[in-house]
């Protein structure tokens, strides 16, 4: 029997508020909602995420965040100035802070625990296409819907960047049916 048959489940790392980056809040994403950002690459969704967690809202409250991404966490931290935010890497290799793309249960549990522990947090889930390539679309949709149920009962938000070219129109419609769709301009306007 292989010693690597069972991977240790990643524990949900405690979220710590990011230091302000000297910018004002430029994105207004309502609490308790999930947002599908149709874009490729996911630059606006990452910008919205980093802006939300590094600025205060109109009441002066800071937002904590958690990112799950296909991109290496070190690159995300460097590009967006995220020092304290937990970032999980969707990858097939084992390691701390790594979630296997085939383990939707651990992924869902990690995001749900974050929502339960951070009533006004924000989650960025980047890599939906990668999850679908490693699982059945309907299984991934069920996992996202489960997280969406928890988000809608809290003050948290989910940012879900999606490349619309990677999905059939029917799949996009199913994905967006209980979420707010954000069409991102690709012309640089």
Tell me: the pLDDT tens digits for 167-180? 999 999 999 998 99
pLDDT of residue 4 exceeding 50, the answer is no
pLDDT confidence bin for 16, thresholds 50/70/90: low
Distance in angstroms between the alpha carbons of the first and the last residue of the chain:
56
Query: What is the arithmetic mean of pLDDT over 96-110?
Result: 96
Asked if pLDDT for residue 21 goes beyond 90, the answer is: no
Tens digit of each residue's pLDDT (9 = 90 or more) over 37-75: 999 999 999 999 999 998 877 777 788 999 999 999 999
As to burial, measured by CB atoms within 10 angstroms (0-12 exposed, 13-18 middle, 19+ buried), residue 58 is exposed
Give me the DSSP letters along 3-42.
TTSSPPPPP-PPP-PPPP-S--------TTEEEEEE-SS-
Q: Quote the pLDDT of residue 183.
A: 77
Domains and CATH numbers, the chain: 39-183 (3.40.50.300)
Local confidence band at 186 (pLDDT 50, 70, 90 cut-offs): low
Task: Give the HSE-up count for residue 81: Cα atoms under 13 Å, Cβ half-sphere.
Answer: 16
Q: Provide the pLDDT for residue 17.
A: 53
- Report whether pLDDT(8) > 50: no
Whole-prediction pTM value? 0.84
Average pLDDT of the chain to the nearest whole number: 86
């Amino acid at each position: 029997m292989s010693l690597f048959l069972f991977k240790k489940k990643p524990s949900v790392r405690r979220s710590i508020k990011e230091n302000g980056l000297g910018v004002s809040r430029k994105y207004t994403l309502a609490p308790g909602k999930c947002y599908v950002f149709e874009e490729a690459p996911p630059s606006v969704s990452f910008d919205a995420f980093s802006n939300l967690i590094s600025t205060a809202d109109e009441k002066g409250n800071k937002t904590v965040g958690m990112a799950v991404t296909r991109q290496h966490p070190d690159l995300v931290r460097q590009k967006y100035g995220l020092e304290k935010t937990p970032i999980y890497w969707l990858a097939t290799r084992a390691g701390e802070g790594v979630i296997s793309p085939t383990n939707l249960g651990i992924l869902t549990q990690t995001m749900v625990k974050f929502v339960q522990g951070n009533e006004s947090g924000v989650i960025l889930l980047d890599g939906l296409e990668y999850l679908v390539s490693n699982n059945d679309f309907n299984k991934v949709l069920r996992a996202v819907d489960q997280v969406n149920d928890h988000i809608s009962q809290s003050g948290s938000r989910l940012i879900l960047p999606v490349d619309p070219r990677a999905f059939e129109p029917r799949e996009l419609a199913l994905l967006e049916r209980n979420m707010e769709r954000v069409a991102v301009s690709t012309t640089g306007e």
